[in-house]
Amino acid sequence: MKMVFRWFGEGNDSVSLNYIRQIPGVEGIVWALHDIPAGEEWPMEKILEVKKQADVYGLNINVVESVNVHEDIKLGLPTRDYYIENYKRTIEKLAQVGVKVICYNFMPVFDWVRTDLYKVLKDGSTALFYEHEKVMNINPLELVKMIADNPKFTMPGWEPERLKELTNLFEAYQNVTEEDLWENLKYFLENIIPVAEVNGIKMAIHPDDPPWSIFGLPRIITSRENIRRFLNLVDSQYNGITLCSGSLGANPKNNVPEIIREFADRIPFAHIRNVKVYENGDFIETSHRTCDGSVDIFEVVKAYYECGFTGYVRPDHGRHIWDEQCRPGYGLYDRALGIMYLWGIWDSLERMSKEGRL
Ligand code: DNO
């Protein structure tokens, strides 16, 4: 496995490239142009700027997360072709600077959803938390109104400046079913994957987080069956997944090690993190260690190891520990500890295998 680390860019991340290169075994950054709105073509000068910054520290820029998909593509609107063309141009430019994997997602309106970004754990650290009942009881349009009246009451993705857009988007999605979303995803892939193939870039869709429908919006990259269906939409090595153990692991029915074993040759990029799931459907992000959460991270790493995995891996969200001030989930300390845990498992497996003890 090739270890990489997410970096949000100069001035946009509390963790410096200099610190990142000091984490054992990290070869590159996972990056994006976060200030370019979804749907716009990425400017070459800005891409080259990131490359130059990473070069100084000997870090590669082989993995991009994410080139976001414009909502019109997910909605299947006639304007989608324009945004798909932009997407293709971005793929071509990224190939020119050596990018190998592009992560993206196909979740309507929201990316990951949590109800608390700083839930206090027993040890005094804080972590991202999802309260199932709270989310299920939300009527999105009522919530939009509530936030407008009381800007203090908010959740990630529901920023007051996004409210008008949110109202329009909820209306636009009102009649979009899961099957429609599958159709729109297929259309997107049929256009994008041939370009990715020619340019040697593996497209890697991120599972939905959480892996079920929320706020009445359809979500489809949620389970083993649906991943299988996704990979068959366009059966190419360049149409792959970002296997995120935490996103899929929020549903205890998803057996993550088994999913890895089934789709190993279509996983160019892995996100590894743990999550503790409660009986009522709530979940909290824990340390990466197996015994701290509900996902068997040892079995996850073992599955990759036994499949001869050579793709990219990054630790995923960490807790906020040692008073670190950082982006929610993206501090240095807990993610670096996570990396050492992953290496610990990987190196032990490798050693035992070499010595014929596995
Ligand atoms: C959360 C991440 C996601 C991920 C996107 C991929 O921290 O795992 O935001 O980057 O869903 O497009």
Question: What's the pTM?
Answer: 0.96
Domain boundaries, the chain: 2-354
The conformational region for residue 11 under phi > 0 = left, psi -120 to 50 = alpha, else beta, is: left
Over residues 319-341, the pLDDT tens digits come to 999 999 999 999 999 999 999 99
pLDDT for the residue 152: 65
What's the CA gap between 211 and 251, in Å, rounded?
7
Over residues 207-229, the pLDDT tens digits come to 999 999 999 999 999 999 999 99
Decide which of 3.40.50.300, 1.10.3470.10, 3.40.50.10800, 3.20.20.150 is the CATH code for 2-354: 3.20.20.150
pLDDT of 121 above 90:
yes
CA of 101 to the centre of ligand 1 (A): 14
Ligand 1 pocket check for 330: Cβ under 6 Å: no
- pLDDT band at residue 147 under the 50/70/90 scheme: confident
Minimum mean pLDDT range among 85-94, 138-147, 161-170, 183-192: 138-147
Contacts of 197 (CB under 8 A, 6+ apart): 236, 238
Ligand 1 pocket check for 31: Cβ under 6 Å: no
- Count the neighbouring beta carbons within 10 Å of the beta carbon of residue 48: 13
- Whether the ω angle into residue 66 lies within 30 degrees of 0, i.e. cis, is yes
CA 253 to chain centre: 20
pLDDT for the residue 160: 74
CA of 69 to the centre of ligand 1 (A): 12
